[in-house]
Amino acid sequence: MTPIIKASKVTFTYPAKVTALRDINLELNEDEVTAIIGQNGSGKTTLVKHFNGLLKPTKGEVLVEGKDTRDLTTAQLSKIVGYVFQDPDDQLFMSKVYEEVAFGPKNLGFKGKELKSSVKNALKMVGLWESRKKHPLDMNLNDKKLVTMASIIAMKPDVIILDEPTNGQDHQGIVKVESLINKLRKEHTVIIISHNMELVSKVADRVVMMYDSRVIFEGSPKKAFTKKKLLNKTYLKPPLITQLGQGVKGMPSDVLTINELVKELQKVSK
Amino acid sequence: MAIVKFKDFSWTYQGYKKPTLRNINLSVKEGEFLGVIGRVGSGRSTFCMTMLGLIPHFFPGRIKGELVVDGLSVEESSIAELSTRVGLIFQSPDTQLTGAGTTVEEELAFGLENLGVPQKEMNKRVKKMVKLIGLESFRNRSPFELSGGQQQKVAIASVLIMQPRILVLDEPTAQLDPLGTSQVFDLIKKLAKKGITIILNTQKINYLAEFADRVAILNKNKLVKVDKARKILTDVKLLRRNGIIPSVYTQLSEQLIKEGLYKGSLCLTLGDAKKMIKKVVKK
Amino acid sequence: MPEAVLISYVKKKSFFHKLNPLTKLVLAVCAITLSFLLKNFMYNLILFFFIIPFAYEAKLLRQVFKPLRYLFIIFVFLFGIQSFFYPFRETVLVQLPFGFAIWLEGLLYAVDISARLLVIMVYGYLFVLTTHPGDLVSELKERGMPHWLGYVLITTLQLIPRVTSQTEVIIEAQRSRGLETQGSVIKRLKAYTPLLGPLFMGSVQNAVERAMALEARAFRAECDKTRYRDVKFTKQDKLITASSIILSIIYGVVSWLL
């Protein structure tokens, strides 16, 4: 399988001479959900900004579908890589949800039927088709966030990056985001940046752990959450249910869901 | 004795037809730790703003009923008066730094300058606060260069320095990373131990499970229920009815009961869950 | 970089740094006023070089002269325009073809202005480099400046970088939605409209939140305010302030008498 995004030896230094990425080698495969985890300032956002060309590597190269990001503008790359920013208030500006979602596809030259169907499809996917005539700024944070996601989905990119998709949302908002990611994974490569380890454990196929501008781990969530030393170093804690498994003798240290633990207990008690 | 008392309290923002808080009755005892949970848009943030008097003195609108905080009627007192009794912390670490201080120390001292506290006393209190939040090595740094968690600690200290007896926190960790979140919760825990009355609005119910004395649920602008933390947080029907997902450990115990593996009360904390598993395994 | 947000203040341990902000301000104002009153450019050049001992003491000798390179372009225009087109021209210095000429009066005028600019630049800049804005505001408050104005001055300095970074995020968010921000002027102007909404709404929201934070810190308490930043006006300050003023007057008068 060829990777859809390939970063080789990527180093990035900001103009103020702060190095935010050091020697990153990473391959992201098609139709996988990758979660990038790590504390603020570890380089997560800087890394994903390289995937849609907002930043270009100081050293090394990033290939997106085989194309060097240095040869393309962000606008051109946005056809392939969609990036949903963390704070909806940084991007919402239209007076109707429908128009907001149509903005991206229009920039890409979508017209007529294609435009209509992609907007409709995106809004249905996030469950906001009924709210299409509302003013985005009148919505609550849960829904605002879903609007920004729809406005990227409507551009039909192959890769969708979600930066802190559950931040500031209530429990129901989080459930909605989770189910949306599960829908998206069928047709897209999904990258999430998240501090929410419960979400990561539920949706990610692969975890990329970052610390001090480097990737320090890459692998399945099951493996990631058993790496005690690495987790300690990055001040991350495994999901609550995993912590429970790790806290009781005789229990596996890599359970990620309630069901897994229940099954395990059924085995033991038989 | 109640240090905060809402009596049939309702609040309607100007320009709105429906009240954002409806008929709230609630007493908070001195030294108590009250958790507040609920959906987005249930009125929790507005609830938090009432006690400092931002409602009705900062936002225009209509009050019904009464709210008394540390002996002062909120409606009749100024925010400045209330600010020495109630400290209010918001969600965004960045915007609640006033920018009045070019260093952490100055940001901390700002409230005291406003109150006309003599310089000697200011120095003393600033020193104490810097130590309390463990930012000694950052005291001459610009607060805007700190991490989110550190900024939030500065924000907390900068209201605590005015020596309020009540601290109200409105989702103080919603924008923080896991490290920042645990830093802030550690500080809150420390303050609770010192006997400051704490009212904490948060989505993170596993933290509430650890330290809250009581928990209040808000939904659709009403106070649905307030009771002992454990009682509320393990009442799964009540939680779900109000859009709150029970703790993972509670869910696990539910599941185990359903499967017939466990008989007993629902779990809430990691400690409970460990005990439960040991029981199940022994059988 | 503890002072990164405070544009130009450079922390150094020096006698000059420790002076009261007002003393330094008086010195700068004296020099700048003098630069307008002195008889000719020679006196201004002397004044210009007179900064060396101060800058040396403040350990900022090189930094003080750094911004002079920005003056270069201004000088080019100044000399270019004045030496050809000075309105009170009388004496031709160099005759050029097509009736153009370089005029002595114009040239002198350009030299005059340049020398004045040099003085203003270095004295003003030395003040900025050696004075912490917090100290200046604290001192001005002590001298009767309203408390709120002090707040406005300090926060403006601190928040400019915040607004800039906010703007960057907004631009990035829209570029990620296929907005092309490069190209013709019209294309670019059009591109910037989607940025205005979020920027404006964001500023309003931040302003409201910050105002609430101010309320929570008893900003509007009605009492005599105190100051945390301790700025003293010492005997040395008195001495330097007085001698700055007196020496300026003497120098100004001498320049006209000689």
Query: CB–CB of C159 and B99 under 8 A?
Result: yes
Strands A81-84 and A67-68 come out as: unpaired
The encoded tokens of residue B260 equal 């017939």
Pick among 3.40.50.300, 2.70.150.10, 3.30.420.40, 3.20.20.80: CATH of A3-237: 3.40.50.300
Q: What's the average pLDDT block by block, 10 residues per block, for chain A (270 residues)?
A: 91 89 95 94 95 96 96 93 94 94 95 96 97 94 95 97 92 94 96 96 96 96 95 94 93 94 88
3-class DSSP assignment, residue C44: helix
What is the rounded average pLDDT for all residues in chain C? 88
Element of type H or E holding B69:
strand B61-69
- The set of residues, in sequence order, having a beta carbon less than 8 Å from that of C254 and lying 6+ positions away, is none
Query: CB–CB of C176 and A90 under 8 A?
Result: no
What is the four-CA torsion angle of A253, A257, A262, A265, rounded to 10 degrees?
Answer: 0
Alpha-carbon gap, residue A5 to A77, rounded angstroms: 12
The per-residue pLDDT for B255 is 95
The per-residue pLDDT for C184 is 78
At C28, is the pLDDT very low, low, confident or very high (cuts 50, 70, 90)? very high
Among B150, B119, B113, smallest CA distance to B133 is for B150
Element of type H or E holding B67:
strand B61-69
Alpha-carbon gap, residue A206 to A223, rounded angstroms: 10
Alpha-carbon gap, residue B48 to B166, rounded angstroms: 12
Mutate to test the interface with B, among A240, A241, A246, A251 (most CBs of B within 10 A): A240
pLDDT at C109 over 70: yes
Inter-CA distances, B81 with B22, B51, B71, B76, B122, Å: 26, 12, 12, 10, 18
The per-residue pLDDT for C4 is 42
Which 159-198 residues of chain C touch chain A by CB within 8 A? 166, 169-170, 172-182, 194-198
Residue A18 near chain B (CB below 8 Å)? no
Alpha-carbon gap, residue C234 to C232, rounded angstroms: 6
A55 pairs with which residues across the strands? Answer: none
Which 66-85 residues of chain B touch chain C by CB within 8 A? 78-81, 83-84
Strands B86-89 and B72-73 come out as: unpaired
Expressed in percent and rounded to 5, the helix, strand and coil fractions of chain C are 70, 5, 25
Query: CB–CB of B273 and A40 under 8 A?
Result: no
Residue B95 near chain C (CB below 8 Å)? yes
The per-residue pLDDT for A1 is 66
Among B124, B157, B121, smallest CA distance to B138 is for B157
Residues C109, C38 contacting (CB under 8 angstroms): no
3-class DSSP assignment, residue B134: coil
Phi (first) and psi of residue B138, to 5 degrees: -110, 5
* Chain B residues lying within 8 Å of A163, measured CB to CB: none
Among A101, A114, A182, smallest CA distance to A143 is for A101
* Residue B271 DSSP class: H
- Start-to-end C-alpha separation, chain C: 50
- The set of residues, in sequence order, having a beta carbon less than 8 Å from that of C57 and lying 6+ positions away, is C14, C15, C16
Task: Map out the domains of chain A as residue ranges.
Answer: 3-237, 239-270
**C57-99 per-position pLDDT tens digit:** 999 999 899 888 888 888 988 888 888 888 888 888 888 888 7
Phi (first) and psi of residue C33, to 5 degrees: -60, -45
**B133-155 per-position pLDDT tens digit:** 999 999 999 899 899 999 999 99
Among A133, A161, A137, A140, smallest CA distance to A149 is for A161
Alpha-carbon gap, residue C78 to C98, rounded angstroms: 22
Neighbours of B213 (CB within 10 A): 17
The per-residue pLDDT for C2 is 35
Neighbours of A149 (CB within 10 A): 26
Residues A161, A191 contacting (CB under 8 angstroms): yes
Inter-CA distances, C193 with A8, A34, A88, C184, Å: 37, 34, 17, 15
**C205-233 per-position pLDDT tens digit:** 889 999 999 999 999 999 889 999 888 99
Which 124-153 residues of chain B touch chain C by CB within 8 A? 126, 140-142, 144-145
Query: CB–CB of B177 and A239 under 8 A?
Result: no
A6 pairs with which residues across the strands? Answer: A27, A63
Residues A91, A155 contacting (CB under 8 angstroms): no
Residue B273 near chain A (CB below 8 Å)? yes
CA-nearest residue to C166 within chain B is B94
Residues A231, A207 contacting (CB under 8 angstroms): no
The sign of the CA dihedral B118, B120, B124, B129 is positive
> Would you say domain B2-244 falls under CATH 3.50.50.60?
no
Query: CB–CB of C198 and A155 under 8 A?
Result: no
The per-residue pLDDT for C7 is 58
Alpha-carbon gap, residue B21 to B10, rounded angstroms: 5
DSSP sequence for B145-214: GS-HHHHHHHHHHHHHTT--SEEEEESTTTT--HHHHHHHHHHHHHHHHTT-EEEEE-S-HHHHHHH-SE
* Chain C residues lying within 8 Å of B97, measured CB to CB: 213
The encoded tokens of residue B271 equal 């400690």
A83 pairs with which residues across the strands? Answer: A161
Size of interface A-C (CB pairs under 8 A): 65
Phi (first) and psi of residue B253, to 5 degrees: -65, -35
Side chain identity at residue A94, one-letter code: M
The encoded tokens of residue B82 equal 């209330």
Alpha-carbon gap, residue A84 to A181, rounded angstroms: 13
Chain A: give the shortest CA distance to residue B46, in Å: 14
* Residue B72 DSSP class: E
Chain B: give the shortest CA distance to residue C173, in Å: 19
Query: CB–CB of A91 and C178 under 8 A?
Result: no
DSSP sequence for chain A: --EEEEEEEEEEE-TTS-EEEEEEEEEEETT-EEEEE--TTSSHHHHHHHHTTSS--SEEEEEETTEEGGGS-HHHHTTTEEEE-S-GGGT---SSHHHHHHHHHHHTT--HHHHHHHHHHHHHHHT-GGGTTS-GGGS-HHHHHHHHHHHHHTT--SEEEEESTTTT--HHHHHHHHHHHHHHTTTSEEEEE-S-HHHHHHH-SEEEEEETTEEEEEE-HHHHTT-HHHHHHTT----HHHHHHHHSTTS-TT--SHHHHHHHHHHHH-
Chain C: give the shortest CA distance to residue A209, in Å: 24
Alpha-carbon gap, residue B276 to B253, rounded angstroms: 8
The side-by-side arrangement of strands in the sheet containing A214-219 is A81-84, A159-163, A189-193, A33-37, A206-211, A214-219
* Chain A residues lying within 8 Å of B147, measured CB to CB: 40-41
Alpha-carbon gap, residue A24 to A36, rounded angstroms: 13
B56 preceded by a cis bond (ω within 30 of 0): yes
Size of interface B-C (CB pairs under 8 A): 138
The per-residue pLDDT for C164 is 84
Alpha helix ranges (H) inside B70-147: 79-82, 104-115, 119-132
CA-nearest residue to A73 within chain C is C180
Kindly tell me the burial class for residue B227, based on how many C-beta atoms sit within 10 Å of its own C-beta (0-12, 13-18, 19 or more): middle
ipTM of the complex: 0.90
Q: What is the 3-state secondary structure (H, E, C) of A112-150?
A: HHHHHHHHHHHHHHHCCHHHCCCCHHHCCHHHHHHHHHH
The encoded tokens of residue A84 equal 């949903």
CA-nearest residue to C199 within chain A is A90
Mutate to test the interface with C, among B55, B95, B160, B167 (most CBs of C within 10 A): B95
Residue B68 near chain A (CB below 8 Å)? no
The encoded tokens of residue C84 equal 């050809």
Neighbours of C193 (CB within 10 A): 11
Neighbours of B236 (CB within 10 A): 17
Residues B156, B187 contacting (CB under 8 angstroms): yes
Task: Map out the domains of chain B as residue ranges.
Answer: 2-244, 247-283
The whole-number average pLDDT for the span B176-188 is 94
- Start-to-end C-alpha separation, chain B: 47
Chain B: give the shortest CA distance to residue C137, in Å: 11
Residue B218 near chain A (CB below 8 Å)? no
**C140-194 per-position pLDDT tens digit:** 988 999 999 999 988 888 888 888 888 889 999 999 999 887 777 787 787 788 8
Chain C: give the shortest CA distance to residue A253, in Å: 40
Query: CB–CB of B175 and A41 under 8 A?
Result: no
A159 pairs with which residues across the strands? Answer: A81, A189
| Residue with tokens 């105002």, as numbered in its chain | C211
B225 phi-psi bin (left φ>0, alpha ψ -120 to 50, beta other)? beta
Burial B16-28 (b: 16+ CB within 10 A, else e): eeebbbbebebeb
**B48-96 per-position pLDDT tens digit:** 999 999 999 999 999 999 999 999 999 999 999 999 999 999 999 888 9
Residue A137 near chain C (CB below 8 Å)? yes
